[in-house]
Amino acid sequence: MSTQNDVKLMMVVVGCIVIASVNARTYYIAPDGRDSNNGSISQPFATLQKGHDVAGPGDTVFVRGGTYKGWSVRITKSGRSATERICFWAYPGEKPYLDCSSGGWGISVTGSWVHVKGIEINQGSITIDEAHDNILELMDCHHVNGIGICVIHGTGGHLILNCDAHDNFDAISKDSPGENADGFGVHYQRSGKPDTIRGCRAWWNSDDGYDFINHEVPITIENSWAMGAGYIHYGTGQAGNGNGFKIGSSKTGIRHIVKNCIAWKNRASGFYANHSSGGNTWYNNTSFQNGTQFNMLASTWSEPNGKGTRTDGVKLTGDKRHIMRNNVGYPNKNSYIDGYGVDTKFNAWDLGITPSASDFRSITDPSLTVTGKPLEEVSPMFGPRKADGSLPDVDFLMLAPGSALIDKGTDVELPFTGDAPDLGADEFGNVTRVFGALSNRPGRIAVTAVSEMFTVFSGYTAGAGLVEKSNSAKPDCGVYSISGRRYPSAAPTLPSAGIYIRR
Ligand SMILES: [Ca+2]
Ligand SMILES: [Ca+2]
Ligand SMILES: [Ca+2]
């Protein structure tokens, strides 16, 4: 092709991009709207289904604050890419509340490149099925007769960011009551991209907080909390299995990553491998007052892919071993670690450290003692999130000055201060446990305003404006990876998803 044609082609391509962004449309949904309206901010639609039906790639459907009743929304359309999603977002600063107590089941997503954000659903769930590359952000699903937030089948690449799922209890269940209502469930994916769960909270779910059973693609779950699994009716009763993080049961031996997570007061295990035939990687987690803190139960099957007879309590070997570093169990009470082939080093139990109250700024939170009322009304752990959607700043299980857990860990390429990483989910010092919120515009990377770190999510590239340029006041202002590698300050693209420190 001639140079002239190249230029023409380039002009056409650029023209398409400009047209696409100029033509991105915005629609509005409001409790007093009507689906016969035109969807403008002054003439909003009434239902999210109507917003979906008119929207296309690159469009945004804003849902105004207030109460909506009985939606069963099917999001079947797809965006085009990470920069041309279809966005269904709470209007900035407002809180849409979808009440399914007298009908409706919530939101079903079967489209891809979709971003749903900021909707609270009472007695309804949000489910992604047979899709890929979606974002669920700041969703709050509770009092569901089943799983609160669920991802099944499809080819992955989803991000579940800063979501809450709580008080879910399947009183009417195909198994015994309570056996299937997890806070977050990710299941049945056989191939494709990994999913990421970050900044999420699960509490008072009758079965488990997070459950990856029957899932054969690695998931990274980080900076998330689980409490009160296996309890119902605000902690006044018991049901279900009761694991905080149920990170299995791979039959093909895939490896999930669990890091910087906290589990407390779960009836069974805080962290549980659930029969996986391949080990997970467990870095810097804190497990407090669960039935068992860490349970690495592994199983194998007599035939491939989980068929035949199951053998429990097997010893995993080689690259199938669980890898555990910098974790804290308080009190130290684990299962299937010693003698089961777990690669365990620099955890509190390996170092002979017995955690005690004085190691933490606080070991009391109302979630440990209060029952019979919604925890979000009384517990700092489940109170309001920060403005960017990240987890609230709390004292509970954060390290106290002089803690015996400070600087006792080993470098696993997570951010740390001082001489070495600390044990547990918190790092004492200036590194804020921030893993970012997405910016308000699709396609931009997340920058945390409150820390010196920022996160580049998979599928996003760093815009030039987000990398500080050196100037006379800051002559060496660049971007560094956690391991200290410096990238040029003008780099438009960072090498991969991950956490980087801006210095
Ligand atoms: Ca169960
Ligand atoms: Ca479960
Ligand atoms: Ca440290």
Task: Find the ligand nearest to 422 CA.
Answer: 3
Q: Which of the two residues, 431 and 117, has the higher pLDDT score?
A: 117
278 token code pair: 């391949």
Cα–Cα distances (Å) from 417 to 67, 133, 142, 199, 242, in that order, read 45, 34, 37, 21, 34
Distance 182 CA to ligand 1 centre (A): 8
| Distance (Å) from CA 422 to ligand 3 centroid | 4
The rounded percent of the chain whose pLDDT value lies above 70 is: 81
Centre of ligand 2 from the C-alpha of residue 347, in Å:
27
Please tell me the number of the ligand nearest to residue 429's CA.
3
Residue 366 CB-half CA count within 13 A: 15
d(CA 307, ligand 2 centre) in Å: 21
Task: With CA atoms as reference, report the closest residue to 412 among 331, 327, 337.
Answer: 327
In angstroms, what is the span from residue 433 Cα to ligand 1's centroid?
31
Phi–psi pair at 466, nearest 5 degrees: -95, -10
So what's the pLDDT on residue 417? 75
178 alpha carbon, closest ligand: 1
Taking 80 as the threshold, does the pLDDT of residue 315 lie above it?
yes
Strands 307-312 and 195-198: unpaired
Q: Is the pLDDT of residue 467 over 80?
A: no
Question: Is the pLDDT score of 414 beyond 50?
Answer: yes
- Written as one letter, the residue type at 34 is R
How far, in Å, from the CA of 207 to the mean position of ligand 1?
A: 5
Query: How far, in Å, from the CA of 183 to the mean position of ligand 2?
Result: 9
Q: 43 CA distance to ligand 1 centroid (A)?
A: 46
Query: CA 41, CA 36: separation in Å to the nearest integer?
Result: 14
**Ligand approaching nearest to the C-alpha of 208:** 2
pLDDT of residue 324 exceeding 90, the answer is yes
pLDDT recorded at residue 304? 81
Cα 425 to ligand 2 centre (Å):
24
Bond from prior residue into 331 cis (ω within 30 degrees of 0): yes
Q: Considering every ligand atom shown, identify the ligand nearest to the alpha carbon of residue 210 and give its number.
A: 2
- What's the predicted TM-score (pTM) here? 0.84
Residue 19 alpha carbon to ligand 3 centre in Å: 50
In this prediction, residue 476 carries a pLDDT of 38
Residue 134 in this model has a pLDDT that exceeds 90: yes
CA of 494 to the centre of ligand 3 (A): 26
